[in-house]
Amino acid sequence: MIRFHREGYTIIFITFSIVIAGVLLADNYIDHLLVSKAIQIALFIFLILILQFFRNPKRSTPINDDAIIAPVDGKVVVIEEVEEPEYFNDKRLQVSIFMSPINVHVTRYALGGTVSYSKYHPGKYLVAWHPKSSTENERTTVVVKNKSFGEVLYRQIAGALAKRIVNYAKEGDEVIQGSDAGFIKFGSRVDLFLPLNTNVKVNIGDAVKGGVQVIAEK
């Protein structure tokens, strides 16, 4: 059975209502059969796209404090040593995962621990792979303190299509690896900032599966 994320319930209901109304209007008020059917097919395709975007497949996460799992589905686009200026103010290993509109957009906790920092930043809507999107786009920054890795920062970043980031992390929360951390609507990216000695298990260009795939280890 297909599950849908709670952040999509309202949009799915509105889309479904519009599609039903559009199909009925096309059937009753457009005399040209081919035009009527083309409109109806286009409406159903639109509904399918909305449904697939908000799907929330159940994932079974193997809990492991010595591993970082992919927080989202997508493609690895950055693996590099960078200066992290917002929280750590020192060098970290950045791993970035880009989500296309066809990916599952649920954000899951990459590791378990205690949320020590959670902040929302308004900003621009540059394309998610733009180098400045991590610091200039609308984004949320969350830090989870874990007994094996210490503090790990992840950042949800809105892209050109994403217009709303949902972040469930609150400072002081005890979070479970692989559980629901939020959602980014309509295309985006997630950056992870790891300790420099972290053993990264993926390469640039790899497709990763959120909630189950190990992307780094101690």
Task: Catalogue the active-site residues.
Answer: 188
CA 17 to chain centre: 26
Cα–Cα separations (whole angstroms), residue 58 to 54, 208, 210: 13, 16, 11
Name 81's Cβ contacts closer than 8 Å, sequence gap at least 6.
91, 92, 93, 94, 196
Name 213's Cβ contacts closer than 8 Å, sequence gap at least 6.
69, 70
User: For residues 182 and 6, what is the distance between their CA atoms, to the nearest angstrom?
Assistant: 10
